[in-house]
Amino acid sequence: MQIRILEETKIVESKGWIARVRPPSGKWNGRVVLLLHGWTGDENIMWIFARRLPTNSWMVAPRGPLSLPEGGYTWVVPKNGVRPDIAQFSNRAIEILKRLPDWVPEFSDNTRLDIIGFSQGAALTYSFCLETSPTKVAPLAGYLPPDYEDRLNNRNLNGLQVFIAHNTDDAVVSVEESKKAASLFIAKGANVQYCDSTGGHKLSSSCFHGLDEFLLD
């Protein structure tokens, strides 16, 4: 399935940033879905999450702008073991928003934007909620960047639909990170679906089913 989807995509460069893009088949439904990879990922790895997305949507998987010595790419780099703060993630979200019209020619401020992010890409997904107004977001096995709550203090998230998934035995990012995010988003008015299971630092089959259902309109 993922190989077939990749065959329907193309690489598009925008101001030094690379993205793999899948145009809609048939008349565009007005929806753009961003696929945000995690640490050491790239523009190819997230397409497994696109398997149930409507084919008349635009799908965009950007590559993180920073290359890593061990291979792959990242959005931001921790220093001395400390996670980058919300300001750094928000800057990345803003940079992606500026490039979306190059990747999706029809994109405008009125375009519906949905976002799926894994691990560090999930932290970036949370950051998008501060910089724009997505319709649906799915942060998977992720965390809130430091200082996120301070930036969210005077905002409400009414109408935002959120699917948060995390395995309880994840040894890379603690499941408590997603529980905290779910509670915060519920308190701010978002409609949150939460799924946890087991299977380490990945999406479980049961939560995968939940994500597929969440993405259907």
CA distances from residue 1 to 109, 169, 205 in whole angstroms, order as listed: 32, 28, 16
**pLDDT confidence bin for 4, thresholds 50/70/90:** low
pLDDT in tens, 153-195: 888 999 999 999 999 999 999 999 999 999 999 999 999 999 9
pLDDT in tens, 54-113: 899 999 999 999 999 999 999 999 998 899 999 999 999 999 999 999 999 999 989 999
CATH number at residue 64: 3.40.50.1820
Q: What is the rounded average pLDDT for all residues in the chain?
A: 94
Residue 1 has pLDDT above 50, yes or no: no
pTM above 0.85, yes or no: yes
Instruction: Count Cβ atoms within 10 A of the Cβ of residue 214 and give its class: 0-12 exposed, 13-18 middle, 19 or more buried.
Output: buried
Range of the domain at 177: 2-215
Of the candidates 106, 78, 42, 104, the residue with the CA atom closest to the CA atom of residue 173: 78
Residue 5 has pLDDT above 70, yes or no: no
Determine how many CB atoms are found less than 10 A away from the CB of residue 41.
23
194 forms beta bridges with: 164
**pLDDT confidence bin for 205, thresholds 50/70/90:** very high
Report residue 195: phi and psi, to 5°: -135, 130
Residue 2 has pLDDT above 60, yes or no: no
- The total of structural domains in the chain comes to 1
DSSP element (H, E) containing 150: helix 148-152
**Sequence-separated (6 or more) residues with CB below 8 Å from residue 47:** 2, 5, 6, 9, 20, 35, 59, 61
